[in-house]
Copies of this chain bind each other. A is one copy, B any other.
């Protein structure tokens, strides 16, 4: 691993070329323009827990491509399954048998799934849930929690530029985990409540994460039942990292529809909607399609991913990696005299510094960490993968230790809370 602060000549050259042919040089959640100077914009590749940027610098990957890479980059089992299907064909005039095998596997694995439909983006899946809920109930309004991300379509995008207020005419908002505010929103929706779309826990960019309150979740379920409205879980970001059968499996709160994507095929483009028999009929009435939604290779990759996750108990591996990372980071913070808040499940953690309301300390920490060969993000939660064995986590911790020192030196130590 090359930790020298050599000029990032290739990344810089590519950014200049990108500026000419891509608006602002890059767009969307992977744009590095808001990150520190040490962050690469362009990557060469990855293997297991390690990614390499275009200048050959290696990083322990704590972002996992913002979620999709759950087994590690280029997992041999997934690549073999994908290659086998690719030798036959991928994009055809109809699905391959992989569609049936994957749907059966999702139904077998996910506690609330009686059926499955495939798509390509997480946004496709959340939009499909909303559409099916409206068709099922014959009503219009969907409740979502304020600030929670459900995709980039006009009805849910966090940035409203270029969209119309009417795009969001069928959406109402409440505060996550707040029964009183939720009930207010339900009351205001009156007879037009089609459903509630929830994240498994509250993760909002730049904010400490908040686990779901079991009582709140049960209350939402009861209200949906009493109102003949649907409860939809947006498991796009968390899916397959917290539980094999859905992120609320252990909570015991059933959901009517779930949206999946990201980790479902270890990086191959795929999304899915699953639902219960009660809403199956509605799912047959809506028009959901896309040019590549039936591609066979991502489905073969997904089956291999889900099989592998089950075989190795991926949830436990990621929990273990996340716990080791948490313990290491908290010890390092304490030793540096810095007080931090470490929130969310260990498999999808986020860390902030106490008193760092503008996240300047966190930006300094992340910028130093990435220069030390640890890729994490200062405003978005991190992701564990099954490739993060003890050695990889320890390698990450070697890179984060001096980052705490830099923060302490630049901002001073903070009182322990």
Contact = CB atoms under 8 A, between A and B. Distances in A.
A93 B116 contact: no
B154 A45 contact: no
A96 B42 contact: yes
Contacts of A284: 23-24, 27
Give the interface residue-count category, chain A: 35 or more
Interface string A1-22: 0000000001000100110111
A92 B45 contact: yes
A69 B292 CA distance: 11
A46 B94 contact: no
B96 A18 contact: no
Report, nearest first, the 10 A-B pairs whose CB atoms are least far apart: A28-B289, A45-B89, A45-B88, A91-B267, A135-B162, A131-B162, A159-B287, A269-B292, A23-B283, A166-B169
A18 B96 CA distance: 11
Contact of A288 (B28, B52, B268): B28
A291 B152 contact: no
Given A23-B117, A69-B91, A103-B18, A286 B42 contact: no
Contacts of A90: 267-268
Contact of A164 (B86, B140, B287, B288): B140
A392 interface: no
Interface stretch (A59-67, A199-207, A245-253, A317-325): A59-67
Interface stretch (A122-130, A175-183, A221-229, A304-312): A122-130
A155 B154 contact: yes
A28 B293 contact: yes
Interface string A23-66: 11011111010000000111111110001101000000101011
A120 interface: yes
Interface string A93-107: 111110110011011
29 contacts: A18-B99, A20-B104, A21-B116, A27-B289, A28-B287, A42-B96, A42-B97, A45-B87, A46-B89, A52-B89, A61-B93, A65-B291, A73-B92, A74-B89, A93-B375, A130-B162, A133-B162, A134-B164, A135-B162, A152-B289, A152-B290, A157-B287, A159-B286, A159-B287, A166-B166, A166-B167, A166-B170, A169-B169, A269-B298
Given A22-B100, A43-B94, A29 B88 contact: no
A115 B128 CA distance: 31
A122 B290 CA distance: 7
A209 interface: no
Contacts of A47: 89
A164 B169 contact: yes
A230 to B, nearest CB: 12
Nearest to A264: B291
Given A23-B283, A65-B291, A162-B286, 13 more contacts: A17-B100, A18-B103, A21-B115, A28-B287, A42-B96, A43-B89, A44-B96, A54-B96, A63-B93, A65-B91, A127-B154, A152-B289, A269-B295
